[in-house]
Amino acid sequence: MLKRKLLIGSLLVGVALMAIGASITTVTPALYVVGFVWIWVVPLIMAGLYAKELEFPTGQVVLLGLFLPGIVPAIVAAWSRPAPPDRSPDTKVYGKTIREWGLGDPVRTFTTKKLLGRGGRILVQAADGFICEDHGAPRTVPWKGITEVYQNLLDQSVNGVQTARTRSYTAVLADGARVSFDQRYGYVEDLGKELQLKVAEALLPAAVHDIEQGKSLSFGPVALDRSSISVKDKNLPWEAVADVTLDSGYVVVSKLAGNKAEYAAKRTGEIAAGLLTRISGTATPVLSAGHGVQWARVLASSVPNLLLLLHVSQGILSFVHATERIRRGGK
Protein backbone atom coordinates (compact mmCIF):
# COMPACT_ATOMS: atom_id res chain seq x y z
CA MET A 1 0.00 0.00 0.00
CA LEU A 2 2.83 2.38 0.85
CA LYS A 3 4.54 1.75 -2.48
CA ARG A 4 1.27 2.33 -4.32
CA LYS A 5 0.89 5.68 -2.58
CA LEU A 6 4.48 6.54 -3.43
CA LEU A 7 3.83 5.82 -7.10
CA ILE A 8 0.70 7.95 -7.23
CA GLY A 9 2.41 10.69 -5.24
CA SER A 10 5.42 10.70 -7.52
CA LEU A 11 3.19 10.96 -10.59
CA LEU A 12 1.38 13.95 -9.09
CA VAL A 13 4.70 15.60 -8.29
CA GLY A 14 5.85 15.04 -11.85
CA VAL A 15 2.64 16.52 -13.26
CA ALA A 16 3.02 19.57 -11.02
CA LEU A 17 6.64 20.07 -12.06
CA MET A 18 5.72 19.84 -15.73
CA ALA A 19 2.81 22.24 -15.37
CA ILE A 20 4.97 24.81 -13.59
CA GLY A 21 7.84 24.33 -15.99
CA ALA A 22 5.64 24.59 -19.08
CA SER A 23 4.07 27.82 -17.83
CA ILE A 24 7.41 29.54 -17.15
CA THR A 25 9.70 27.93 -19.71
CA THR A 26 11.29 31.27 -20.49
CA VAL A 27 12.55 31.38 -16.91
CA THR A 28 13.30 27.80 -15.87
CA PRO A 29 13.04 25.31 -18.75
CA ALA A 30 14.99 22.82 -16.65
CA LEU A 31 11.96 22.43 -14.38
CA TYR A 32 9.87 21.21 -17.30
CA VAL A 33 12.59 18.75 -18.29
CA VAL A 34 12.84 17.40 -14.74
CA GLY A 35 9.08 16.88 -14.61
CA PHE A 36 9.09 15.22 -18.03
CA VAL A 37 11.85 12.76 -17.04
CA TRP A 38 10.22 12.16 -13.67
CA ILE A 39 6.96 11.03 -15.25
CA TRP A 40 8.80 8.80 -17.73
CA VAL A 41 11.32 7.18 -15.42
CA VAL A 42 9.55 6.77 -12.07
CA PRO A 43 6.53 4.77 -13.35
CA LEU A 44 8.74 2.48 -15.41
CA ILE A 45 11.07 1.76 -12.49
CA MET A 46 8.15 1.21 -10.12
CA ALA A 47 6.39 -1.01 -12.66
CA GLY A 48 9.47 -3.11 -13.18
CA LEU A 49 10.21 -3.62 -9.50
CA TYR A 50 6.86 -3.59 -7.70
CA ALA A 51 4.11 -4.16 -10.27
CA LYS A 52 2.70 -7.24 -8.52
CA GLU A 53 2.92 -5.75 -5.04
CA LEU A 54 1.27 -2.58 -6.25
CA GLU A 55 -1.57 -4.54 -7.85
CA PHE A 56 -1.08 -2.16 -10.71
CA PRO A 57 -0.66 -3.84 -14.15
CA THR A 58 2.67 -2.99 -15.74
CA GLY A 59 0.99 -2.02 -19.01
CA GLN A 60 -1.14 0.65 -17.32
CA VAL A 61 1.89 2.17 -15.64
CA VAL A 62 3.77 2.27 -18.94
CA LEU A 63 0.77 3.91 -20.63
CA LEU A 64 0.70 6.56 -17.91
CA GLY A 65 4.39 7.22 -18.53
CA LEU A 66 3.64 7.74 -22.24
CA PHE A 67 0.38 9.67 -21.81
CA LEU A 68 1.13 12.24 -19.10
CA PRO A 69 4.19 13.88 -20.75
CA GLY A 70 2.02 14.66 -23.76
CA ILE A 71 -1.24 15.69 -22.09
CA VAL A 72 0.16 18.05 -19.45
CA PRO A 73 1.87 20.43 -21.92
CA ALA A 74 -1.26 20.29 -24.11
CA ILE A 75 -3.44 21.42 -21.20
CA VAL A 76 -1.04 24.21 -20.33
CA ALA A 77 -0.80 25.31 -23.97
CA ALA A 78 -4.60 25.35 -24.29
CA TRP A 79 -4.82 28.02 -21.57
CA SER A 80 -1.99 30.42 -22.20
CA ARG A 81 -1.24 34.04 -22.93
CA PRO A 82 0.07 34.69 -26.43
CA ALA A 83 3.42 36.36 -26.70
CA PRO A 84 3.01 40.10 -27.37
CA PRO A 85 4.04 41.26 -30.83
CA ASP A 86 7.25 43.20 -31.35
CA ARG A 87 6.98 46.87 -30.42
CA SER A 88 7.73 48.29 -33.83
CA PRO A 89 5.80 50.82 -35.94
CA ASP A 90 5.82 48.21 -38.71
CA THR A 91 4.31 45.45 -36.55
CA LYS A 92 0.91 44.39 -37.89
CA VAL A 93 -2.05 44.55 -35.50
CA TYR A 94 -5.57 43.77 -36.69
CA GLY A 95 -4.51 43.82 -40.33
CA LYS A 96 -2.54 47.10 -40.31
CA THR A 97 0.86 48.20 -39.17
CA ILE A 98 0.85 50.23 -35.96
CA ARG A 99 2.09 53.22 -37.96
CA GLU A 100 -0.96 53.00 -40.24
CA TRP A 101 -3.36 53.27 -37.28
CA GLY A 102 -2.14 56.87 -36.84
CA LEU A 103 -1.52 56.96 -33.08
CA GLY A 104 2.25 57.29 -33.11
CA ASP A 105 4.88 54.78 -32.09
CA PRO A 106 3.96 51.81 -29.91
CA VAL A 107 4.71 52.06 -26.18
CA ARG A 108 3.47 48.78 -24.72
CA THR A 109 1.39 45.75 -25.66
CA PHE A 110 -1.21 44.03 -23.45
CA THR A 111 -2.75 40.62 -24.18
CA THR A 112 -5.50 38.39 -22.83
CA LYS A 113 -5.19 34.64 -22.38
CA LYS A 114 -6.59 32.24 -24.93
CA LEU A 115 -8.38 28.93 -24.45
CA LEU A 116 -8.19 26.34 -27.22
CA GLY A 117 -7.42 29.03 -29.75
CA ARG A 118 -10.14 31.43 -28.61
CA GLY A 119 -9.44 34.80 -27.03
CA GLY A 120 -5.90 36.07 -27.09
CA ARG A 121 -6.89 39.69 -27.70
CA ILE A 122 -4.23 42.32 -28.20
CA LEU A 123 -4.31 45.93 -26.99
CA VAL A 124 -1.50 48.22 -28.11
CA GLN A 125 -0.73 51.39 -26.20
CA ALA A 126 0.78 54.00 -28.51
CA ALA A 127 2.07 57.51 -27.95
CA ASP A 128 -1.27 59.18 -28.76
CA GLY A 129 -3.80 56.54 -27.67
CA PHE A 130 -4.41 52.83 -27.92
CA ILE A 131 -5.60 50.23 -30.43
CA CYS A 132 -7.98 47.53 -29.23
CA GLU A 133 -10.78 45.18 -30.16
CA ASP A 134 -14.24 46.59 -29.44
CA HIS A 135 -17.32 44.38 -29.94
CA GLY A 136 -15.39 42.13 -32.29
CA ALA A 137 -13.95 44.93 -34.44
CA PRO A 138 -10.65 46.83 -34.12
CA ARG A 139 -10.72 50.51 -33.30
CA THR A 140 -8.44 53.34 -32.22
CA VAL A 141 -8.95 55.36 -29.05
CA PRO A 142 -6.93 58.62 -29.15
CA TRP A 143 -6.18 60.20 -25.77
CA LYS A 144 -7.49 63.57 -26.96
CA GLY A 145 -10.83 61.98 -27.96
CA ILE A 146 -11.63 60.76 -24.44
CA THR A 147 -13.95 62.90 -22.32
CA GLU A 148 -14.40 60.63 -19.28
CA VAL A 149 -12.66 57.69 -17.63
CA TYR A 150 -14.30 55.34 -15.14
CA GLN A 151 -12.43 52.79 -13.10
CA ASN A 152 -13.65 49.97 -10.87
CA LEU A 153 -10.96 48.64 -8.54
CA LEU A 154 -12.55 46.22 -6.09
CA ASP A 155 -11.02 43.77 -3.62
CA GLN A 156 -13.55 41.48 -1.93
CA SER A 157 -12.60 39.31 1.03
CA VAL A 158 -14.43 36.93 3.35
CA ASN A 159 -12.89 36.04 6.70
CA GLY A 160 -9.62 37.55 5.60
CA VAL A 161 -9.42 35.51 2.36
CA GLN A 162 -9.66 37.35 -0.96
CA THR A 163 -12.67 36.05 -2.93
CA ALA A 164 -12.86 38.57 -5.76
CA ARG A 165 -10.61 41.10 -7.46
CA THR A 166 -11.88 43.49 -10.12
CA ARG A 167 -9.79 45.81 -12.25
CA SER A 168 -11.83 47.41 -15.05
CA TYR A 169 -11.67 50.71 -16.92
CA THR A 170 -14.06 52.43 -19.32
CA ALA A 171 -13.17 55.30 -21.64
CA VAL A 172 -16.06 57.49 -22.86
CA LEU A 173 -15.37 59.18 -26.19
CA ALA A 174 -16.63 62.51 -27.49
CA ASP A 175 -19.21 60.76 -29.68
CA GLY A 176 -20.63 58.88 -26.67
CA ALA A 177 -19.00 55.54 -27.50
CA ARG A 178 -17.62 53.50 -24.60
CA VAL A 179 -14.55 51.28 -24.76
CA SER A 180 -13.79 48.99 -21.82
CA PHE A 181 -10.98 46.67 -20.77
CA ASP A 182 -10.40 44.70 -17.58
CA GLN A 183 -8.10 42.33 -15.69
CA ARG A 184 -8.19 39.75 -18.48
CA TYR A 185 -5.35 41.82 -19.92
CA GLY A 186 -2.07 41.24 -18.12
CA TYR A 187 -0.76 44.23 -16.12
CA VAL A 188 -3.99 46.12 -16.87
CA GLU A 189 -3.47 48.53 -13.94
CA ASP A 190 -0.43 50.03 -15.70
CA LEU A 191 -2.61 50.87 -18.69
CA GLY A 192 -5.38 52.17 -16.41
CA LYS A 193 -3.00 54.56 -14.64
CA GLU A 194 -1.70 55.84 -17.96
CA LEU A 195 -5.26 56.33 -19.21
CA GLN A 196 -6.22 58.38 -16.14
CA LEU A 197 -3.03 60.44 -16.37
CA LYS A 198 -3.40 61.26 -20.08
CA VAL A 199 -7.04 62.30 -19.72
CA ALA A 200 -6.34 64.38 -16.60
CA GLU A 201 -3.46 66.17 -18.35
CA ALA A 202 -5.70 66.97 -21.32
CA LEU A 203 -8.66 68.25 -19.27
CA LEU A 204 -6.83 70.02 -16.42
CA PRO A 205 -6.25 73.43 -18.12
CA ALA A 206 -9.95 73.80 -19.00
CA ALA A 207 -10.99 72.62 -15.50
CA VAL A 208 -8.74 75.20 -13.81
CA HIS A 209 -10.05 77.93 -16.11
CA ASP A 210 -13.67 77.06 -15.27
CA ILE A 211 -12.96 77.11 -11.53
CA GLU A 212 -11.26 80.52 -11.84
CA GLN A 213 -14.32 81.81 -13.73
CA GLY A 214 -16.61 80.69 -10.91
CA LYS A 215 -18.10 77.74 -12.76
CA SER A 216 -18.93 74.37 -11.23
CA LEU A 217 -17.26 71.10 -12.26
CA SER A 218 -19.31 67.90 -12.24
CA PHE A 219 -17.85 64.45 -11.58
CA GLY A 220 -21.00 62.34 -11.49
CA PRO A 221 -22.26 62.39 -7.87
CA VAL A 222 -19.49 64.81 -6.88
CA ALA A 223 -19.45 68.49 -7.83
CA LEU A 224 -17.17 71.34 -6.84
CA ASP A 225 -16.61 75.04 -7.37
CA ARG A 226 -14.47 77.75 -5.78
CA SER A 227 -16.55 77.86 -2.59
CA SER A 228 -17.57 74.29 -1.79
CA ILE A 229 -17.70 70.60 -2.67
CA SER A 230 -20.94 68.63 -2.98
CA VAL A 231 -21.57 64.89 -2.72
CA LYS A 232 -25.08 64.00 -3.86
CA ASP A 233 -27.33 66.33 -1.82
CA LYS A 234 -24.72 67.35 0.78
CA ASN A 235 -22.59 70.47 0.55
CA LEU A 236 -19.46 71.46 2.49
CA PRO A 237 -17.45 74.72 2.17
CA TRP A 238 -13.75 74.27 1.41
CA GLU A 239 -12.79 75.98 4.67
CA ALA A 240 -14.30 72.99 6.52
CA VAL A 241 -12.81 70.31 4.26
CA ALA A 242 -9.83 68.36 5.63
CA ASP A 243 -9.08 66.26 2.54
CA VAL A 244 -10.46 64.55 -0.57
CA THR A 245 -8.95 61.10 -1.01
CA LEU A 246 -9.38 57.74 -2.71
CA ASP A 247 -9.57 54.87 -0.21
CA SER A 248 -10.73 51.24 -0.55
CA GLY A 249 -12.72 51.90 -3.71
CA TYR A 250 -14.40 55.07 -2.40
CA VAL A 251 -13.94 58.78 -2.93
CA VAL A 252 -13.87 60.07 0.64
CA VAL A 253 -14.41 63.68 1.66
CA SER A 254 -13.33 64.35 5.23
CA LYS A 255 -14.11 67.44 7.26
CA LEU A 256 -12.11 69.15 9.95
CA ALA A 257 -13.08 67.89 13.39
CA GLY A 258 -14.69 70.40 15.72
CA ASN A 259 -12.55 69.43 18.69
CA LYS A 260 -10.12 66.73 19.82
CA ALA A 261 -12.79 64.70 21.62
CA GLU A 262 -15.03 64.61 18.54
CA TYR A 263 -12.10 63.66 16.35
CA ALA A 264 -10.94 60.88 18.68
CA ALA A 265 -14.41 59.35 19.02
CA LYS A 266 -15.26 59.36 15.33
CA ARG A 267 -11.78 58.31 14.29
CA THR A 268 -11.89 55.27 16.57
CA GLY A 269 -15.21 54.23 15.06
CA GLU A 270 -13.91 54.63 11.51
CA ILE A 271 -10.83 52.51 12.17
CA ALA A 272 -12.86 49.76 13.88
CA ALA A 273 -15.39 49.61 11.02
CA GLY A 274 -12.65 49.62 8.40
CA LEU A 275 -10.67 46.83 10.02
CA LEU A 276 -13.79 44.71 10.56
CA THR A 277 -14.85 44.91 6.90
CA ARG A 278 -11.33 43.99 5.81
CA ILE A 279 -11.86 40.70 7.64
CA SER A 280 -15.50 39.99 6.80
CA GLY A 281 -16.16 41.57 3.41
CA THR A 282 -15.61 44.51 1.07
CA ALA A 283 -13.27 46.99 2.73
CA THR A 284 -14.57 50.42 3.75
CA PRO A 285 -12.33 53.48 3.99
CA VAL A 286 -9.91 54.03 6.83
CA LEU A 287 -8.32 57.46 6.64
CA SER A 288 -4.62 56.96 7.20
CA ALA A 289 -3.59 60.50 8.08
CA GLY A 290 -4.78 64.04 8.63
CA HIS A 291 -7.04 65.68 11.22
CA GLY A 292 -10.40 65.04 9.62
CA VAL A 293 -13.30 62.64 10.00
CA GLN A 294 -15.40 61.20 7.20
CA TRP A 295 -18.09 63.58 6.02
CA ALA A 296 -19.23 61.81 2.84
CA ARG A 297 -18.14 58.97 0.61
CA VAL A 298 -19.22 57.61 -2.75
CA LEU A 299 -18.14 54.58 -4.77
CA ALA A 300 -15.21 55.52 -6.96
CA SER A 301 -16.60 53.40 -9.82
CA SER A 302 -19.45 55.95 -10.21
CA VAL A 303 -17.10 58.95 -10.42
CA PRO A 304 -15.59 59.88 -13.81
CA ASN A 305 -12.08 61.30 -14.15
CA LEU A 306 -10.96 60.45 -10.63
CA LEU A 307 -7.43 61.73 -11.07
CA LEU A 308 -8.68 65.08 -12.38
CA LEU A 309 -11.07 65.36 -9.42
CA LEU A 310 -8.26 64.72 -6.95
CA HIS A 311 -5.89 67.19 -8.67
CA VAL A 312 -8.41 70.02 -8.74
CA SER A 313 -9.55 69.34 -5.16
CA GLN A 314 -6.00 69.35 -3.83
CA GLY A 315 -5.27 72.59 -5.69
CA ILE A 316 -8.28 74.34 -4.16
CA LEU A 317 -7.52 72.97 -0.69
CA SER A 318 -3.90 74.14 -0.88
CA PHE A 319 -5.05 77.64 -1.81
CA VAL A 320 -7.74 77.75 0.90
CA HIS A 321 -5.46 76.45 3.65
CA ALA A 322 -2.63 78.77 2.64
CA THR A 323 -5.03 81.72 2.65
CA GLU A 324 -6.28 80.72 6.11
CA ARG A 325 -2.73 80.57 7.47
CA ILE A 326 -2.01 84.05 6.11
CA ARG A 327 -5.15 85.36 7.80
CA ARG A 328 -3.99 83.86 11.10
CA GLY A 329 -0.63 85.57 10.74
CA GLY A 330 1.26 82.47 9.54
CA LYS A 331 0.17 80.22 12.42
- Whether 73 and 98 map to the same domain: the answer is no
> Whole-angstrom Cα distance, residue 331 to residue 322?
10
- Tell me the pLDDT tens digit for each residue of 42-69: 666 665 665 556 555 555 555 555 555 5
Domain membership of residue 246 (yes or no) is: yes
Range of the domain at 156: 92-199
- Tell me the pLDDT tens digit for each residue of 296-311: 999 999 999 999 999 9
Domain boundary among 167, 199, 231: 199
Domain membership of residue 113 (yes or no) is: yes
pLDDT given for residue 288 in this prediction = 44
- Span 67-89, mean pLDDT? 60
Residue 82's SS3 state is coil
- Whether 25 and 114 map to the same domain: the answer is no
- Whether 108 and 133 map to the same domain: the answer is yes
pTM comes to 0.68
Cα-based angle 121, 190, 24 (whole degrees, multiple of 5): 60
Helix 2-23 crosses helix 29-54 at what angle (to 10 degrees)? 160
Q: How far is CA 310 from the centre of its chain?
A: 19
Question: Measuring CA to CA, how many Å separate 127 from each of 2, 107, 132, 149, 182?
Answer: 62, 6, 14, 18, 21
Percentage of residues of the chain with pLDDT beyond 90:
39
- Whether 21 and 96 map to the same domain: the answer is no
Domain membership of residue 86 (yes or no) is: no
Domain boundary among 45, 78, 111: 78
- Whether 73 and 121 map to the same domain: the answer is no
Is pLDDT above 60 for 295? yes
Give the least confident one: 29-38, 86-95, 188-197, 237-246: 29-38
Domain membership of residue 275 (yes or no) is: yes
Residue 157's SS3 state is strand
Domain boundary among 78, 106, 133: 78
pLDDT given for residue 322 in this prediction = 79
Residue 178's SS3 state is strand
- Whether 230 and 255 map to the same domain: the answer is yes
Q: How many distinct structural domains can be found in the chain?
A: 3
Residue 170's SS3 state is strand
Domain membership of residue 16 (yes or no) is: yes
- Whether 227 and 310 map to the same domain: the answer is yes
> Whole-angstrom Cα distance, residue 124 to residue 130?
5
- Whether 184 and 282 map to the same domain: the answer is no
Question: Measuring CA to CA, how many Å separate 48 from each of 91, 256, 284, 310?
Answer: 54, 79, 61, 70
- Whether 189 and 222 map to the same domain: the answer is no
Strand partners, 329: none
Percentage of residues of the chain with pLDDT beyond 70:
57
Is pLDDT above 50 for 313? yes
- Tell me the pLDDT tens digit for each residue of 265-279: 565 655 555 555 544
Domain membership of residue 87 (yes or no) is: no
Long-range contacts of the stretch 204-209 (C-beta < 8 A, 24+): 204/308, 204/311, 204/312, 207/308, 207/312, 208/312, 208/315
- Whether 64 and 112 map to the same domain: the answer is no
> Whole-angstrom Cα distance, residue 49 to residue 141?
65
Domain membership of residue 207 (yes or no) is: no
Q: What is the CATH number of the domain that holds 175?
A: 2.30.29.30
Domain membership of residue 21 (yes or no) is: yes
- Span 19-37, mean pLDDT? 51
